[in-house]
Structure 1
């Protein structure tokens, strides 16, 4: 596995400065965000000069780019918002292809109109799934055109909440381009250590063969997010199970401060 971190963990809009901080904190790869170039995360356009700057920065820093963020609300109740998000996603996918970034990460969305990471009671409505699935099919057509994979992450507040949901969507879409980003801390909200262990174990088994990237985020028993290694997620077991199902891709941490990054890198390297 390659140990990595969200580039946005580090401040700045100079990609070389940001990716150098990634390297200096002990990481070999990164999930990149166009905000690290001074652009919106979901821009209307990416100048060629920015693409060149990111490519050069990655080369100089010696950091590979494992994924590019392309998250928008794929289940927003307003179709015009979804249409705008898809236009921006097309720009992100084209940018990923230009930079040879293999994966664009997505948000399967929520019926919550103002926060794509917030739960809404209508998320369980079959119409919400249908809207998201139509959006995903359009996104996959773009991904196929540009030779880029799309990664969906089960999130408790989104339409896809579990590895089982993710496998269902992959089966419905019928595309090898649709992959899973597995974050153990997003598979539950509140749990004891034993409950979390069981939930994460089942998710790895269910997602086996479809995991493009794993995230290393943690959560306390009461639901608050925690720095990796400080919550109820059993990371030695999580990593061992990923290995047992043949996963050898990027393991990307986030939800931590820049100051905490070197310590988390050491923690994860010891486990891997």
Structure 2
């Protein structure tokens, strides 16, 4: 398992797009972006050039979509992913554009949050959400790309059920263990018994369970929250996972950089245990 970091695509530092990744001494990243203005052949060509010069491999494109996004339990269900009908059409098209971008830069897959997928499979909207995701997945499949769900707003069994109903061969999971905790959706280690065979990428992030019904739990540095990383890594080994471990720390500034570096050291110890 190779250690890397999630990295934002920006155009404000031409010639040094991947300097932050190299500063951490990583050779791999997930490249994330929410700005569709960056989704051009010109930017893609620059990404290819600079990633090669920096010696950084892009293991996936984290695809953001237009419209509001509220990471909580009150507004999240009506703003996140492909679930809200009001934004669904434009977000399907946005994800297709990011699939084009992933193809242009040679990345193997796109990743996104699909939203609060209904737990009740008899809910009318459930079938509509499945069809919306399928449309994107089929488009990715036509380009020989994977479509990977980031865990978070749905329970493991809902995610498995949804993938089974979509039915394309290119589906996978970007397992963010902290999100299962932050949203109160499940235990990360136990989730591997449900959908372990579909895990294609892993975020290294940590946090605590929610303490009220409106807000997510608190995100913290890996190793300081409820994710049992030594046993989580051991379980990944047990199921044969050999993909990337992508560090994510949802703060900014020097503390973020320090936490990423410390997590990289801790990961080496957990991997060798």
With the length of structure 1 as denominator, give the TM-score of the two structures: 0.81
Give deviations 1:108-147, integer Å, cap 9, x for gaps. 1249xxxxxxxxxx77572332221111111012111111
| Residue 84 of structure 2, aligned match among 76, 80, 84 | 76
How many Å apart are 1:45 and its aligned residue? 6.8
Give deviations 1:57-96, integer Å, cap 9, x for gaps. 1111111101111244201131xx2111111111100110
Q: Which runs of 5+ in 1 are unaligned?
A: 35-40, 112-121
Three-state SS of the structure 2 residue aligned to 1:108 is: coil
| Residue 171 of structure 1, aligned match among 164, 174, 181 | 164
Partners of 1:190 and 1:108 in 2: CA distance: 14
How many Å apart are 1:255 and its aligned residue? 2.3
Query: Which residue number in structure 1 is paired with residue 28 of structure 2?
Result: 29
Partners of 1:245 and 1:102 in 2: CA distance: 22
Partners of 2:233 and 2:17 in 1: CA distance: 27
Partners of 1:150 and 1:5 in 2: CA distance: 19
Partners of 2:10 and 2:134 in 1: CA distance: 34
Give deviations 1:178-213, integer Å, cap 9, x for gaps. 11111111113488xxx97xx222101211211111
Query: Which residue number in structure 2 is paired with residue 215 of structure 1?
Result: 203
Three-state SS of the structure 2 residue aligned to 1:208 is: helix
Report how many aligned residue pairs link the two structures: 244
How many Å apart are 1:55 and its aligned residue? 0.6
Three-state SS of the structure 2 residue aligned to 1:32 is: strand
Query: Which residue number in structure 2 is paired with residue 252 of structure 1?
Result: 246
Partners of 1:213 and 1:13 in 2: CA distance: 28
How many Å apart are 1:258 and its aligned residue? 2.8
| Residue 148 of structure 1, aligned match among 124, 145, 149 | 145
CA RMSD of aligned residues (A): 2.5
Query: Which residue number in structure 1 is paired with residue 74 of structure 2?
Result: none
With the length of structure 2 as denominator, give the TM-score of the two structures: 0.81
Higher relative contact order (CA 8 A, sep 6+): 1
Matched, 1:201 2:200: no
